[in-house]
Structure 1
Amino acid sequence: MKDLDVIGIGNLNYDIIMLVDHFPEFHEKVNAEKAFFGLGGAAGNTITWLAHMGLRTGFIGAVGNDEMGEAHLRYFKSIGVDTGGIKIVDAPSGIAVVIIHGEDKRIVKYPGANEKREINFDYLRKARHIHLSSNPERIIVEAVNFASENGITVSLDIGEARIPAGVEEKIDYLLMNEDEYRRKFGSLDPRLCKAKNLIITLNGGGALIRTADGEVEEIRGLSAKVVDSTGAGDAFDAGVVYGSLRGWSLRDSAKLGMLLAYLTVQKVGARSAVIPLRDIVETSRRLNLDLPFSRNP
């Protein structure tokens, strides 16, 4: 039996999020209507959800020898995330500054310590599943090939990055949004992608999925007033990973992802909406999502 259900690989950032009534012009200063300060980083957000849902989790990343780095380690330990794969390096911890006006969002990132993360393959061997988000091409290639060679399933939220040559068909769950998919493949045809399972989140809600058997289905989204979309994709990823590790269908896993994203966009901050599994189950039943939570892992 593996020591960990899932290990995340990616950035660990300190998020500074501000909601404004308009973006500043040249040399203009504006006051934020609301502000949020907290821990973030895409893969870190996904692992946070999964830890709260009862999975045995770990992380590979890097933080600085500073207060923000200490905060990341302290928080992960408090929710049961194994921090054995996180390096403390001689560089400032990563920072993300987000300015939001309505549905428009501007982001400035300082990667800092994140650029010094390295894969510890002995540590990675402990996992049943690896989740990658916001990683350089070298890390993606190393992790996907290692997973393929060692019988470990892998999910990749590729974002704006290029899919490295030679790994696409080895990816068990490839996640991206509609715009990212169109830019990479030229259309929304899910048959153009060679990943085993494909999940495309659609503009305006919902998702298009294509299973390893070639079945294609569109999943309807949940309607919510969007306050802040930061971390919504990471929450969606958590639903897909959780469902896949519990033996759910890709359809049900994507529906759980929809639910977690739905909860996330209604609050400011990537992790503000994170709740325990029992509350997720209760919310899913209230919304009549018919998810198979009673099934044994």
Structure 2
Amino acid sequence: MHDYELLVVGSANADLVIGVDRRPGAGETVLGSDLVVHPGGKGANQAVAAARLGARTALLARVGDDDYGQLLLDSQRSAGVDTVGVLVGGAPTGVALITVDPSGDNSIVVSQGANARLTPGDVRASLRLMAAARVVSVQLEIPLESVAEVVRTAAAGFGGRPGPRVVLNPSPVAPLPNDVLAACDPLVVNEHEARFLLSDDQVGSSDDPEEWADALLSRGPRSVVVTLGGEGALAADGDRMVLVPSPAVTAVDTTGAGDAFTGALAWRLGVGDDLVTAVRFAVRVGAAAVTRAGAQASFPSAEEVAAL
């Protein structure tokens, strides 16, 4: 019996958000709205998104012993996330500086803070959490060696029992070791991340998501999901490739929408959905998330997703 359908291992940040008429160019200053502070970070966002949908979710992360860290702990607990794996101290809480333009598009700069101190040793010390989860979801706002430790622990299993299924969103994008790629089921990428990972391949200059998915599968992942914004997402596992369209919505703020998508996808895989069925659900969750401002504040409940 698994205690959790989803364990998220990743970052927890305070999102400092300013609305702008247009994002500044190099050397340029623009005026913006009043500063708003939201709980965020890719790991924390995914955990809240899944828990708000009804998932039994835990988070392994590190925050600072400061007001932003308390904000993040409070937001996780209020969403129903088990925070037994959230470590406190070692550095100030991570911070993301976000500008959002009138179309809802955003630009983000992240100060890692305590996220950079989530070590492979922290992962090894959390084997109980790993063993209790059906799926583990990771991103790259924590050290890559810690991500690799999560993957290796999952691959090794526990006393003859298979470890959790691994969902990886390589954001912010970076080269991935072969053993990490091989464990992804799925590897979840947007257009920018797909092109970066395929930059040494002519396919990287293509505009065809199916070519990206094929090329990425050839690198070792068991399955691949390419998110396409308002167009939906492409699911590929070697046996089939399915484009899942998104519902038409008016985007207010895209901050955190990818995290909502991935958290929903990982949860549905954890309760036994096949890849395409899970992507269909996650696309609706991502669409709902862009209709409201903020990251975690915009994440829908299961009832809101059903209404959409």
**TM-score category of the 2 structures, normalised to the smaller one:** 0.7 to 0.9
1:138 maps to a residue whose letter is: E
- For structure 2, which runs of at least 5 residues remain unmatched after alignment? 204-208
**Partner Cα separation in structure 2 for residue 13 and residue 260 of structure 1:** 22
Partner of 1:163: helix, strand, or coil? coil
Give the match for residue 268 of structure 2.
243
Please point out which of 116, 137, 147 is paired with 2:144: 137
TM-score normalized by the length of structure 1: 0.87
Taking only aligned residues, the RMSD between alpha carbons, in angstroms, comes to: 2.0
Give the match for residue 108 of structure 1.
109
**Partner Cα separation in structure 2 for residue 22 and residue 5 of structure 1:** 41
Give the match for residue 127 of structure 1.
133
**Are residues 1:76 and 2:88 paired?**
no
Give the match for residue 222 of structure 2.
196
**Are residues 1:208 and 2:231 paired?**
no
Does the Cα contact within 8 Å between 2:265 and 2:279 map onto a contact in 1?
A: yes
Name which of structure 1's ranges 232-241 and 133-142 shifts more when overlaid on structure 2: 133-142
* Aligned residue pairs, count: 282
Q: Indicate how the Cα distance of structure 1 residues 168 and 58 shifts in structure 2: closer, same or farther if over 3 A, else same.
A: same
**Partner Cα separation in structure 1 for residue 85 and residue 54 of structure 2:** 20
**Partner Cα separation in structure 1 for residue 25 and residue 189 of structure 2:** 32
Give the match for residue 219 of structure 1.
244
Q: Indicate how the Cα distance of structure 1 residues 239 and 23 shifts in structure 2: closer, same or farther if over 3 A, else same.
A: closer
TM-score normalized by the length of structure 2: 0.85
Partner of 2:258: helix, strand, or coil? helix
**Partner Cα separation in structure 1 for residue 73 and residue 222 of structure 2:** 34
Give the number of the structure with larger relative contact order, counting CA–CA contacts within 8 Å between residues 6 or more apart: 2
Matches within 5 A, 1:39-54: 39-54=39-54
Partner of 1:167: helix, strand, or coil? helix
Matches within 5 A, 1:250-261: 250-261=275-286
Q: Indicate how the Cα distance of structure 1 residues 23 and 182 shifts in structure 2: closer, same or farther if over 3 A, else same.
A: closer
Per-residue CA distance 1:125-167 (angstroms, 9 max, x = gap) = 2211101023322112111111122121110011212222222
Partner of 2:44: helix, strand, or coil? helix
How far did 1:24 drift?
4.8
Does the Cα contact within 8 Å between 1:36 and 1:269 map onto a contact in 2?
A: no
Partner of 1:229: helix, strand, or coil? coil
**Partner Cα separation in structure 2 for residue 137 and residue 245 of structure 1:** 24
How far did 1:83 drift?
1.1
Please point out which of 137, 159, 165 is paired with 1:153: 165
**Partner Cα separation in structure 2 for residue 245 and residue 273 of structure 1:** 23
Does the Cα contact within 8 Å between 1:137 and 1:164 map onto a contact in 2?
A: no
**Are residues 1:273 and 2:298 paired?**
yes
Per-residue CA distance 1:70-107 (angstroms, 9 max, x = gap) = 12112222222111111111311111111122455322
Partner of 2:76: helix, strand, or coil? helix
**Are residues 1:60 and 2:85 paired?**
no
Does the Cα contact within 8 Å between 1:20 and 1:34 map onto a contact in 2?
A: no
- For structure 1, which runs of at least 5 residues remain unmatched after alignment? 284-297
Q: Indicate how the Cα distance of structure 1 residues 203 and 40 shifts in structure 2: closer, same or farther if over 3 A, else same.
A: closer
Does the Cα contact within 8 Å between 1:36 and 1:268 map onto a contact in 2?
A: no
1:53 maps to a residue whose letter is: L
How far did 1:31 drift?
3.5
How far did 1:12 drift?
0.4
How far did 1:9 drift?
0.8
Q: Indicate how the Cα distance of structure 1 residues 28 and 237 shifts in structure 2: closer, same or farther if over 3 A, else same.
A: closer
Does the Cα contact within 8 Å between 2:288 and 2:300 map onto a contact in 1?
A: no
How far did 1:229 drift?
1.0
Partner of 2:293: helix, strand, or coil? coil
Partner of 2:195: helix, strand, or coil? helix
Name which of structure 1's ranges 50-59 and 27-36 shifts more when overlaid on structure 2: 27-36
* Percent of aligned positions that are identical: 27
